[in-house]
Amino acid sequence: MGKTIQRFFGSVFTKLLAVILLTGLGINLAVGAFFWYFRSEAGREYRQTLAHYLDLVVAEIGTPPDFEKAAALAVRGAFHLRYSASDRNFATRPDMPQALPVKRQRGFWEPQPGVRAVFSRGRIFVELEKVDGKFLFEIGPALAGLEIAKPVALLLLLVSLILGGAYFSLRRILKPIARLKEGVIAVGRGNLDYRVPPQPADEFRDLARAFNEMTERIRDMLAARERLMLDVSHELRSPLTRLKVALEFLPDDAVKDSLRQDVLEMEAMTTAILENARIRHGQGNLDLETVDLAQVVRGVLGEFEGRPPGVRIAFMPPVVLCRVNPDLIRTVVRNLMTNAVNNSLPESPAIEVGLESRPPFAVIRIADYGAGIAPENLPRIFEPFFRADPSRSRQSGGYGLGLSLCRTIAETHGGRIEAESAPGRGSTFSVYLPLAT
């Protein structure tokens, strides 16, 4: 969860979104502050002008007012009027208030003597006291200058839409970065056939083309190396067979035994290389069948009974059904167990073996408590012919093909193999194989 949050906030798109949002917020605040300042500055002059205008209205309708003229002026002037005196009361609207709405003291303002005003419910109420009566005006939004709120809101909305459009445009422009990231991840997992889709005619197109060309070169280099190993392996089989036949005609002595051992090791190495290639390039002919993986693992563990430091089953369900080639899976378990035994001391704790169902995979775990693997060597242990021991002796590292073969078998089954290790604390290998559906 923590890594997900860290990845989210460290994303280029998240940073871009933050910049866009902060920019939009700044623009909206600047525009809003400008109009607020404009209204506050213009408000002083407006209040004086409004008071003078209402004086002219009162002068025109008279005191006491001519009610018909007052009603006509109210329609044209976008205001309503109530006149109150001791002997009469008149309003251009029946629900006009009798007095100024109640506000806090600071909510009232007086443009000039005898005139009091208050802003309430989106309207301005102005009270003019005359000798013969009191006039109360209700000024609508148009005359009160409040219609500016709608244009301001529309402007802020328009700015926000423009910024949103800019963000999505930039996101679309930077989308090739996400595709390049997918390509790097795919190639890092070994998919050298992945190609970044063609990009528009810009710098990203050149970058995508360079990435695809690099991937093709790497694939060709690895394919050439593999072809070389296969060709050499094929060519070695015949001389090795002739050597084995010739050795039979030599007298028995130490030299003959040494030569025979060397020939057998070369033959085993050649067979391992060819088997690795056969599995990798024959994925469609794996001869899969539904088997009890627990039974397969237990069968291989029986081969290591009595060999120090011993074997202990940590956890294993009675039945775990998988769709696999049982012979190849036995090879995987056998190779991993052999590595665990070779890297353990006789007095080391017993090798722990476990099997668990973790849909959609079954997981085989084999853990030893031997010397472990140095961190700088751990990423390379599945490479062909790589041995963590610098001496590269057969006793310490075999031929360097066992783990490579295990990875090939796991991947051709649609699974994977992972390794965890620390120097002096041992190693744990986990093989993921698809469960039967």
What are 180-235's pLDDT values in tens digits? 888 888 887 777 888 888 776 667 788 888 888 898 888 888 777 767 666 666 67
Mean pLDDT, rounded, of the chain: 79
Specify the pLDDT at position 75.
Answer: 73
Average pLDDT over residues 17-30: 75
pTM check: above 0.85: no
User: Are the CB atoms for 393 and 386 separated by under 8 Å?
Assistant: no
Specify the pLDDT at position 136.
Answer: 87
Q: Give the percent of the chain with pLDDT over 90.
A: 21
Distance CA 411, CA 403 (A): 12
For 265, 342, 387, 411, 423, the CA distances from 384, given in Å and listed in that order, are 16, 19, 9, 15, 22
Specify the pLDDT at position 253.
Answer: 81
User: Are the CB atoms for 363 and 430 separated by under 8 Å?
Assistant: yes
What are 281-332's pLDDT values in tens digits? 654 467 889 999 999 999 999 999 889 999 999 999 999 999 999 999 999 9
Identify the top-confidence range among 55-59, 74-78, 338-342: 338-342
Distance CA 7, CA 5 (A): 5
SS3 labels along the chain:
CHHHHHHHHCCHHHHHHHHHHHHHHHHHHHHHHHHHHHHHHHHHHHHHHHHHHHHHHHHHHCCCCCHHHHHHHHHHHCEEEEEECCCCEEECCCCCCCCCCCCCHHHEECCCCCEEEEEECCEEEEEEECCCCEEEEEECHHHHCHHHHHHHHHHHHHHHHHHHHHHHHHHHHCHHHHHHHHHHHHHHCCCCCCCCCCCCCCHHHHHHHHHHHHHHHHHHHHHHHHHHHHHHHHHHHHHHHHHHHHHCCCCCCHHHHHHHHHHHHHHHHHHHHHHHHHHHCCHHHCCCEEEEHHHHHHHHHHHHCCCCCCEEEEECCCCCEEEECHHHHHHHHHHHHHHHHHCCCCCCCCEEEEEEEECCEEEEEEECCCCCCCCCCHHHCCCCCCCCCCCCCHHHHCCCCHHHHHHHHHHHCCCEEEEEEECCCEEEEEEEEEECC
Topology (CATH level 3) of domain 203-280: Helix Hairpins (1.10.287)
What are 235-290's pLDDT values in tens digits? 777 787 888 888 888 888 877 788 888 787 777 777 776 776 667 665 446 788 99
Q: Give the percent of the chain with pLDDT over 70.
A: 78
Distance CA 114, CA 341 (A): 105
What are 350-367's pLDDT values in tens digits? 999 999 999 999 999 999
Distance CA 337, CA 329 (A): 12
Parse the chain into domains and list their residue ranges: 2-150, 203-280, 286-434
**Residue with more model confidence, 9 or 192:** 192
Topology (CATH level 3) of domain 286-434: Heat Shock Protein 90 (3.30.565)
Distance CA 350, CA 341 (A): 9
Long-range contacts for 260-266 (Cβ within 8 Å, ≥24 apart)? 265/394, 265/399, 266/236, 266/240
Work out the pLDDT band at 105, boundaries 50, 70, 90.
very low
Specify the pLDDT at position 187.
Answer: 82
